Amino acid sequence: MSGRTIGRCTFSPVPSTSSRPRCPSLKQDGRLVLYSAGLLISTIFLAATLATGLLVPSQHHVLHWRCQTHYVACLLVGDLLLAITQLSGNSITGPACTTIAIMMHFFFLAAFFWLNTMCFNIWWTFRDLRPTSLEKSQEICRLRIYEVYAWGVPLVIAGVAAILDNLPDSSDTYLRPRFGEAKCWFYGNMEMLTYFFGPIGILLGVNLLLFASTARQLTCGLWKRDDVKSTTERAALGRVCLKLVVVMGVTWVADVISWAVGGPNYIWIVTDLINALQGVFIFIVVGCQPQVWAAMKRLWNSKTGRSFTNTTHGPQHSSSSHGLPSMGESITNNTCTNNTTTTTSNRVPMETVC
């Protein structure tokens, strides 16, 4: 979802007097077509991510998995609606255009709020390098709080925007979103800043701080520890941090910057495509994991009548650090508070933790 190409039009980076949209044709803007194709590809991989998650029932009780599922589902709906509006040209008008704009507004907001809960959950887990297990009642309580926050706040923002949008045109007291007037989105930059990029800009700023703190804990806190000595283990730790960039949505920051700064389109084409293909990267990190392949193998063997025994069983307690199917299991980390004794029982898979 790119601020510079969202809807059918491009915008001047300067709000106020120059915020009226300019609408080039799709033939004139090949970048827009490329971006829309990226969105469609992203939706396919986001759907595949949801499907692969269903193949690992042992993860369904895990708090992070649930937050991740909400995030992926919201991003899937938002990307699909955005791709439809961009590829449809001027064919969607009237109430249908307004309805799509309101739905996109809500689902994209919800996606970023769920992303914020994921970032907080990961940071909370690693704030002292001691991943802790949650009892089922504690997990349910925290999940309910996350749901109220990640669904409730976007609902309030999108609801207020929709209500104000239906005020009479003569009412100048409030800034109306003006959905569907120029395109199936907000009318101009000021409306977009107030109801969309303002809230998500704050969220992304918080996410960036949480990512920096988490990465610092992993690199500075673990790099010098006795159980992370070899080059291979340190390389795996680097891969963990790289995966956190995807899991914690750090690349979305470039989306807000590109909208605010502006400039020639070619400057931002790489970041636009990265964000348009976000679903592909999420699938690579989340869906292409050993436990997923094992589940697919079990499913295939059950269809073909073969027997397959999985010797890996999930823990009885949920951990906000475990069950991030976004990571593999290439190295381990001792999370025990005792720095003098290292045992197998208190070592957890590092990349699974992250």
pLDDT tens per residue across span 262-318 = 777 777 778 788 888 888 888 888 877 766 666 667 766 777 765 444 444 444 444
Q: What is the pLDDT of residues 188-215, one digit of tens each?
A: 889 999 999 999 999 999 999 998 888 8
State the pLDDT at residue 342. Answer: 40
CATH no. for 24-310+324-353 = 1.20.1070.10
The amino acid at residue 112 is F
**What is the rounded CA–CA span in Å between residue 67 and residue 119?**
10
State the pLDDT at residue 113. Answer: 96
Q: What is the pLDDT of residues 104-136, one digit of tens each?
A: 999 999 999 999 999 998 888 777 655 556 677
State the pLDDT at residue 218. Answer: 75
Helix axes 30-54, 63-87, angle to 10 degrees: 150
Could you tell me the pLDDT band of residue 334, with boundaries at 50, 70 and 90?
Answer: very low
Could you tell me the pLDDT band of residue 34, with boundaries at 50, 70 and 90?
Answer: confident
Torsion of CA 333, 334, 336, 339, to 10 degrees: -130
- Counting residues of the chain whose pLDDT is more than 90, the rounded percentage is 26
Q: Supply the mean pLDDT for the chain.
A: 73
Alpha-helical regions (H) of 22-62: 30-54
Tell me the domain boundaries of the chain: 24-310+324-353
Residue 25 has pLDDT above 90, yes or no: no
Residue 338 has pLDDT above 50, yes or no: no
